[in-house]
Amino acid sequence: MYVAVKGGERAIDAAHAWLAEARRGDAAVPELTVAQIREQMTLAVNRVMTEGSLYDPDLAALAIKQARGDMIEAVFLLRAYRTTLPRLGASLPLDTAAMTVQRRISATFKDLPGGQVLGPTFDYTHRLLDFTLMAEGEAPRAPTAPIRDEPVPHVTTLLDQDGLIEATPPGEAEPGDLTRAPLELPADRALRLQALARGDEGFLLSMAYSTQRGYGRTHAFVGELRIGLVAVELFIPELGFSVEVGEVELSECETINQFMGSKTEPPQFTRGYGLAFGQNERKALSMSLVDRALRWQELGEDDVGAPAQDEEFVLSHADNVQATGFLEHIKLPHYVDFQAELELVRRLRREALPEAAE
């Protein structure tokens, strides 16, 4: 018997209530607080802030809690909130050379001004499950050392002094804004970098990895990876000077890539650039490799047909909120289109196999 699908509204409300209950899990287990997520799931918070394009650790932690740990869902929650915020102004360009570094490593020079600072990294840990964490042991205390009070210049700046790396003179052009204007291709580098910064970490990781395996190889060295706090300054026209309005934690990666030279340029190194909120090394590294791969045209390199060289392919598919929305929408009803296809297939079959006709 045909039952009309009335009651969609009640079904939705009940589903939402069930979701809320499932999110909380076993009520006998203490509820996670947003502060706990912010402090102890920091790398998740960083990823959500980066791909959500909003620097707010508390809201990112809230989004992770609400999304039950689904990172893309959390990114989406933060983005949807972000679009409702008014724009008060644009900050001055951040001065990452003046970063208070927590971590700063170079894979190209053994020692350099400012030194190598290992910082809090998984890099040399042995990946053995630490069962004392399960036993909820004491909070570990790290030893401390005095701060090296010296400037930490960018490695690429040092190379630039010898003309060994491409110059990047500061531009006057105001960078585009993907969130306020539709993406039109070809995009300039600033816009590409914005799209990559918002792009899915996993997607960029795979794209970057593909260049390392030969699909558009760019011979990347990590000239420098630095993580730390940078001041955000806003120019106030009424005051006539700029004011520090806060600071953000950033991961910045600059790769140094081989370049054999062209008709107009002598051989020199070239750059790839990656920037992410918080400690987010995989993202910053991946981004810098993809950025460099996308620059093949500007540098007069060959198009080897690699996916990571294809600007339209990379930029159109990097955004996980768009991707997951369109992918998951196929769960929505498609009765009408399927019915049209059913009629077509039945008719074509009737014409192809008259004897088998119903």
Binding another protein by CB under 8 A: which of 80, 118, 260, 357?
Answer: 80
Tokens of 44: 């998740």
Instruction: Give the interface segment with another protein, choosing from 204-212, 218-226, 266-274, 315-323 (CB under 8 A).
Output: 315-323
Beta bridge partners of 253: 225, 274
Instruction: Decide if 303 contacts 215 (C-beta within 8 A).
Output: no
Instruction: Give the interface segment with another protein, choosing from 61-69, 125-133, 175-183, 259-267 (CB under 8 A).
Output: 175-183
User: Is residue 132 within the footprint of another protein (CB under 8 A)?
Assistant: no
Instruction: Give the interface segment with another protein, choosing from 40-48, 73-81, 144-152, 243-251 (CB under 8 A).
Output: 73-81
Q: Which is nearer to another protein, 19 or 348 (CB)?
A: 348
Binding another protein by CB under 8 A: which of 102, 206, 212, 324?
Answer: 324
Strands in 270-277's sheet, in edge-to-edge order, are 100-105, 220-236, 241-257, 270-277
Q: How far is the CB of 237 from another protein (least distance, A)?
A: 21
User: Is residue 354 within the footprint of another protein (CB under 8 A)?
Assistant: no
| Three-state SS letters, 8-21 | HHHHHHHHHHHHHH
User: Is residue 356 within the footprint of another protein (CB under 8 A)?
Assistant: no
- Tell me how far apart the alpha carbons of residues 354 and 358 are, in angstroms, rounded to a whole number: 9
State yes or no: cis peptide before 186, omega within 30 of 0: yes
Binding another protein by CB under 8 A: which of 40, 132, 168, 322?
Answer: 322
DSSP state string for 112-175: -TT--B--S-STT------HHHHTT-PPP---------S----HHHHHHHTT-B---PPP-SPP
Q: How many CA atoms lie within 13 A of 265 on its CB side?
A: 18
Q: Which is nearer to another protein, 263 or 331 (CB)?
A: 331
225-284 positions binding another protein, by CB under 8 A: none
Q: How far is the CB of 18 from another protein (least distance, A)?
A: 14
- Tell me how far apart the alpha carbons of residues 130 and 344 are, in angstroms, rounded to a whole number: 60
User: Is residue 192 within the footprint of another protein (CB under 8 A)?
Assistant: no
Q: Which is nearer to another protein, 12 or 98 (CB)?
A: 12
Instruction: Give the interface segment with another protein, choosing from 100-108, 215-223, 231-239, 327-335 (CB under 8 A).
Output: 327-335
Binding another protein by CB under 8 A: which of 97, 117, 183, 229?
Answer: 183
Binding another protein by CB under 8 A: which of 47, 65, 79, 295?
Answer: 79
Q: How far is the CB of 10 from another protein (least distance, A)?
A: 9
- In Å, what is the CA distance from 93 to each residue of 90, 174, 287? 9, 11, 19
Percentage helix, strand, coil for the chain under 3-state DSSP, each rounded to 5:
40, 15, 45
User: Is residue 20 within the footprint of another protein (CB under 8 A)?
Assistant: no
User: Is residue 19 within the footprint of another protein (CB under 8 A)?
Assistant: no
Name the amino acid, one letter, at 207. M
Instruction: Give the interface segment with another protein, choosing from 42-50, 214-222, 249-257, 329-337 (CB under 8 A).
Output: 329-337
Spell out the residues 6+ positions from residue 176 whose beta carbon is closer than 8 angstroms to its own: 187, 188, 190, 191, 194
User: Is residue 1 within the footprint of another protein (CB under 8 A)?
Assistant: yes
> Which chain residues interact with another protein by CB under 8 A?
1-2, 4-9, 11-12, 76, 79-80, 82-84, 86, 179-186, 312, 316, 321-322, 324-330, 332-337, 339-344, 347-348, 351
